[in-house]
Amino acid sequence: MSVSEKQAEEILKTGAILGVVNTLAAPFYWFGAKVGLTVSAIANGATLYLMHEQGKDERVIGNSLNKVGTFFGEGKPIENGTKNITRGGATLYNEVKDGVEKIACKI
């Protein structure tokens, strides 16, 4: 699997996680647009933060190189953050998938 195929797969998995989060937040729009939007924003923010932290733990070398590059004025913090989110989202997707498969095997 090439690098671009791996990145595309990670992006799809991250999108699937965000889609599930928004689907779970959708019933709150029944209480009103402000309530639904608030719940969606909080849920998405928390999920993105969780995925970023997970990705940061997995991309130690990439984050270190970006810190060095930022010191010399050549860092790309937005690109680095996006890579952290996609890597963390893919990891979260795989963990949830494995958990669901274990539960399904017991049934």
d(CA 48, CA 85): 7
pLDDT at position 59, please? 87
For residue 53, how many C-alpha atoms fall within 13 Å in the half-sphere facing its CB?
Answer: 5
- Residue-wise pLDDT for 22-80, tens only, equals 999 999 999 999 999 999 999 999 999 999 999 999 888 887 888 777 767 677 888 88
pLDDT at position 47, please? 96
Structure tokens at 21: 């989060």
- Kindly tell me if the per-residue pLDDT of 18 is higher than 80: yes
Write the CA distances from 48 to 7, 71, 95, integer angstroms.
Answer: 17, 26, 16
- Kindly tell me if the per-residue pLDDT of 87 is higher than 90: yes
Residue 27: name the closest of 17, 18, 35 by CA.
35
